[in-house]
Amino acid sequence: MVLAVSKTDNEDAVDFRGNPVDKSKTGGWLAAGLILGTELSERICVMGISMNLVTYLVGELNLSSSKSANTVTNFMGALNILALFGGFLADAKLGRYLTIAIFASICAVGVTLLTLATTLSSMKPPHCNNRIKQHCIEASGSQLAMLYLALYTIALGGGGIKSNVSGFGSDQFDISNPKEEKAMVYFFNRFYFCISLGSLFAVTVLVYIQDNVGRGWGYGISAGTMIIAVIVLICGTAKYRFKKPQGSPLTVIWRVVFLAIKNRNHPYPANPCFLNEYGNSKVPHTTKFRSLDKAAILIDYANSDQNRNNPWLVSTVTQVEEVKMVISLIPIWSTCILFWTVYSQMNTFTIEQATIMNRKVANFSIPAGSFSVFLFISILLFTSLNESVIVRLARKITHDPKGLRSLQRVGIGLVLSVIGMVASAIVEKKRRETHQNEMKKLSAFWLVPQFFLVGAGEAFAYVGQLEFFIREAPERMKSMSTGLFLSTLAMGYFMSSVLVTLTDMATNGSWLTNDLNKGKLENFYWLLAILGAINFLVFLVLASRHRYKVQNFNGDRNDENKDIENWKISNTEMVDDVEAKKTAIEA
């Protein structure tokens, strides 16, 4: 889910023919609704796969628990990291509409391949009823090849959709128009509701169909849904407002770093006012990461009106400071990763636990993957409570009109994730003891607390992280900051794969066994809880040192200009010398 708000107006918006838009015939709710259908379909596909894939890998492909968990987390990690690629492609070349249309088609191809991979008998090993005794034949490399091809094709397509849908949807509203600006706020509320609705449908209806009717039917419905979404998106082409690609901010970052390295041997100017476009900077100059200032040094060949505007010869102070702002986000970014490592357990080992617990209600057996519904119910519940109750209460306690700041939300989410892992460890130990001592299955509803706690954590952490990365990023780098946020999800899933592999190696497979009744999964949960607690302490230190971005630079600019003038008065000879050299070079 990406809630990236475009703060530019619609003066540069064009229709599909490239002409200035007729706002009475384009954009608005109709166009935004057609775009939302693509994200709804992507959610149905991805959640329907990720929340129940582990049961297929373990139960039908006979893979080990650790390998199955890593397959799921690597898939989700790839999907989120590829959102950076999709965002870059849209910003640099294709634009959001064309990127969404292409990548949605790729996603549809991927789900179609997955349908075939899970339906064809040649793609699966012989059926085995004796998996607990580890006498089953695992799927071969050739049988897994088509599965992996399908999964990573879906990851590529989903990443391109995820990074652009919300931005393209917001492009359909003109924020210079008060009525449309108000409608855009509702658009994001409905966007969140839409993807949550898709997730709930996936973990209930689709998971039930996969388990009780057939994987082919479940994934086939997902493929059909995505194909319909592509058709609907294309049919609405005449109704959309388009914005031309403005170039990727990743290029700006690369140029600044490149020039700073290139000019590393040049001395710093006597005063920062001699840096390129210092007086016209849109961002206040800072002394942190001072080495990057060398990218804006006006050395001889760059000190002319023509070359000064060549970004490959010299950067501006604005560009340098924007890169500094992005680098300042990295420490907080690093402490957000472990939350998503914890979250990833909700669609791997927790689902495996549910498969060997009592899931019956009356005569109906709930699919293991459908227990994820408690995760999404918790997310929706606490998202609603955040604004209506928690924020209002926080305002009274802190006397801060914002109630909870973004980093405070993240901190609450991190604490809840730690508590969630403690609850997971306690429940798993009780489950194994119940099985060993009484030879009966513990009710799967004992898993609800960990789903509930981690879901509540996401309601705080997701919103807090998204707000932090969008608010604290440079104005011209909002889309990239959203991609940076998504990369924490990706790294969290990849971190889970690494931890599972290392734990398996360190314990000789005694913790994470194919038969969870003979393993010690609770120890892995305790490990995550301890790592989460340490991570939270590091987060507190970094968050206490972080200074929120100055939102109004005008006042600071006046003070800074006064300082510059005072410096020039006291260094008249040096200033005159620099001006003389500049005149000579230009001549």
Give the range among 106-110, 336-340, 558-562 with minimum mean pLDDT: 558-562
The answer to whether the CB of 312 falls within 8 A of the CB of 352 is: no
Q: How confident is the model at residue 5 (pLDDT cuts 50, 70, 90)?
A: very low
Report the pLDDT averaged over residues 50-60. Answer: 85
The pLDDT of residue 46 is above 50: yes
Can you list the positions of beta strands (E) in 219-362? 360-361
Instruction: Indicate the average pLDDT of the chain.
Output: 80
Structure tokens at 194: 């839409």
Q: Looking at the domain that runs over 323-550, which CATH code has it been given?
A: 1.20.1250.20
Of 7-11, 438-442, 488-492, the range with the lowest mean pLDDT is 7-11
Residue 26's Cβ-side half-sphere holds a number of Cα atoms within 13 Å equal to: 24
Say how many C-beta atoms besides its own lie within 10 A of residue 333's C-beta.
19
Tens-place pLDDT, residues 106-156: 999 999 999 999 888 888 888 877 655 457 888 888 889 999 999 999 999
Alpha carbon 298 to its chain centroid, in Å, reads: 38
Residue 431 CB: number of other CB atoms within 10 A?
23
pTM of the complete model: 0.77
Question: Are 232 and 43 within 8 A, CB to CB?
Answer: no
Lowest average pLDDT, out of 124-128, 307-311, 376-380, 557-561, goes to: 557-561
Q: Please indicate whether the domains covering 9-247 and 323-550 agree at the CATH topology level.
A: yes
Residue 171 pLDDT grade (very low, low, confident, very high; cuts 50, 70, 90): confident
State both tokens at 528: 């995550």
Contact 497, 74 (CB under 8 A): yes
Tell me which of 154-163, 448-457, 568-577 is least confident: 568-577
pLDDT for 462-476, tens place per residue?
Answer: 878 877 887 777 766
For residues 36 and 190, the answer to whether their CB atoms sit within 8 Å is yes
Domain residue ranges in the chain = 9-247, 249-320, 323-550
Residue position matching structure tokens 């901190």: 411
DSSP letter at 392?
H
Alpha-carbon torsion (400, 405, 407, 408), positive or negative: positive
- Measured between alpha carbons, how far is 539 from 58 in angstroms, rounded to an integer? 36
Residue 298 pLDDT > 90: no
Q: Among 118-122, 309-313, 435-439, 512-516, where is mean pLDDT lowest?
A: 435-439
Measured in whole angstroms, how far is the alpha carbon of residue 170 from the centre of its chain? Answer: 18
Pairing of strands 360-361, 364-365: antiparallel
In the chain, the percentage of residues whose pLDDT exceeds 70 is: 82
Q: Distance between CA atoms of 437 and 375, rounded to whole angstroms? A: 30
- Residues in a beta bridge with 297: 275
Lowest mean pLDDT among 295-299, 301-305, 412-416: 301-305
β-bridge partners, 365: 360
pLDDT over 90 percentage in the chain: 22
Q: What's residue 327's pLDDT?
A: 87
Predicted pLDDT at 148: 93
Indicate the range of 1-5, 106-110, 297-301, 335-339 predicted with least confidence: 1-5
Helix 249-262 and helix 317-344, axial crossing angle in degrees, nearest 10: 120
In 356-477, alpha helices (H): 373-385, 391-398, 406-438, 448-472
Mean pLDDT to the nearest integer, 166-189: 73
Residue 343 phi/psi, 5° resolution? Answer: -60, -35
DSSP conformation class of 123: G
Tell the residue number behind the tokens 């619609």, with chain if given. Answer: 10
Calpha distance 54→151 (Å, rounded): 13
**CATH 2.40.160.60 assigned to 9-247:** no
Q: Give, as one character, the DSSP assignment of residue 26.
A: S
512: which DSSP letter?
S
Nearest Cα neighbor of 342 from 474, 492, 546 is 492
**Alpha-carbon gap, residue 404 to 426, rounded angstroms:** 31
Task: Please report, for residues 31, 86, 241, 351, 488, the alpha-carbon distance to residue 204 in angstroms, rounded to integers and kept in the order given.
Answer: 29, 29, 36, 14, 27
